[in-house]
Structure 1
Amino acid sequence: MNFRWTLRAAKDRWLVKISWQSSRGSSGLFVPPSPPLDPEKVKELQRFITLSKRLLVMTGAGISTESGIPDYRSEKVGLYARTDRKPIQHGDFLRSAPIRQRYWARNFVGWPWFSSLQPNPAHWALSNWERLGKLYWLVTQNVDALHTKAGSQRLTELHGCMHRVLCLDCGEQVPRGALQERFEALNPTWGAEAQGLAPDGDVFLTEEQVQSFQVASCARCGGPLKPDVVFFGDTVNPDKVDFVRRRVKEADSLLVVGSSLQVHSHRPREEAPDCNT
């Protein structure tokens, strides 16, 4: 699987060019291999859903791979299987301006692709369950906004959302699309070619490309900006955790979709002192 993504400025507009080399369509690039469906397992799931009256669903990265977003752990196609690269750490982002520069340069290139992705049938099915009164609450570990795009409203984004940006100093929140326009204005002649995709809108760039990228700061106070997401090494807001726990207690059944649960977001913090979130 080869991937190339080019972003460059040309005559007051930004041009994006993607080239894929794969035996599958782009939406299937990051879908891990799986055995054929077992009809009996399908019937078992159908019975479970039918009997549920207050169903809580928790989703993870695996539900979005068919929309074209890579995950971390899937066999052969996840980030850890394809590369030796690791996701950004919360503490590193806070401490280091060069790391923030690298993050935003890569995110700037990846944003047009990431923000254009659309829900797949699994997202639409969960939204439909909500509309029919079957789904009581939806909790997602994903930051891609695909559940929102599919129309889900009874939703908690446990790890935040890439479509929002926060100032680390004053807390000002702005849409990610508005920040993209500011980046374009600050980098009118900058261009880059990414050599690979990572989860959550990240791409791979060379250090030479990164070093010439100009990073925007908060328009209100001049402070550093961060996407409104929980990076590895950070913790989920305790109020949000308590809110989800109350929804779990109110539910009569729990369905986990597309998550290995290896980030331990589902466990009380006192049981998982070394958890990532």
Structure 2
Amino acid sequence: MVLTKQKVFRFTFTHFFAVLLTVMFVITVYLQFRLLTEDHCNCSRPVVQYVAKPKYYVNRNYDSNHKLAVLVPYRNRFEELTEFVPYIHSFLNEQKINHDVFILNQVDNYRFNRASLINVGYLETKSNYDYIAMHDVDLLPLNKNLTYAYPQLPFHLAAPTLHPRYHYDKFIGGILLINREHFGLVNGLSNKYWGWGLEDDEFYVRLKDANLNVTRPENISTGTKDTFRHIHGKDRKRDTTKCFNQREVTRRRDRQTGLHDVKYKVVSYKSMTIEGAPFNVVNIELFCDRTITPWCDCSGEKTAKKKN
């Protein structure tokens, strides 16, 4: 009888142990699978956000097959903006130009970079538009003979003989029309120009190096006082500071930067109207490589000098 109980006990224990091993094996496999398939680190995951594309208001009833993107670099110029948008929209409609207006609003904390904003505007619109207008928000055309039609060559509307302030021969600022192919050919504008000035002069050299002649309006009866209206307030200060080695670098032709390496993030699109005139605000964060252009933030110059 004792022998029989021992056999029963051994048999029961053996089976129990086998079941226990099986359960432990299953649990171990399950836990290992969970560890392989789940991220248990506390690392922050990149948040992927959907940025709504702008509304395209282009009037496709006009005879022209070409579509114009008016690219307006912008920061804190609300009064000029409210006057510019309705005016330019009406002006272009009178010429039956298929167009949309894009306000390229720089929302980061770096110094203003007009050239990089235009590069971003081109990249964001090139698939839907045939040419762009690099357009200052504070310059309004008065003469109805100033045409915004599709340019076969870069067309400088605000010519030195017509612009109210700048009259040197190589000046191509204010308003410049250029088709999609030519802007891409010269790799856009340099991204090294943080602060005010000189990015247009560098772009002029890019066009010349690519054998693209800049054309200008002809047979315009008005002059520097009545061809454009400059709505830039006299009390508004321009950021002309030159820090680090900015002055030396930005006096030379930039063969390193352009469309291919502009670093940015479109935070949002806002489709809006002012007095019935439609436009899109593109809120843009630019990024700065301080090893290349430390002058994107001149406040760091004092800190750098102290360390040295």
The normalised TM-score by structure 1 is 0.29
Which has the larger Rg? 2
Instruction: Choose between structure 1 and 2 for higher RCO, CA contacts under 8 A separated by at least 6 residues.
Output: 1
TM-score normalised by L of structure 2 = 0.27
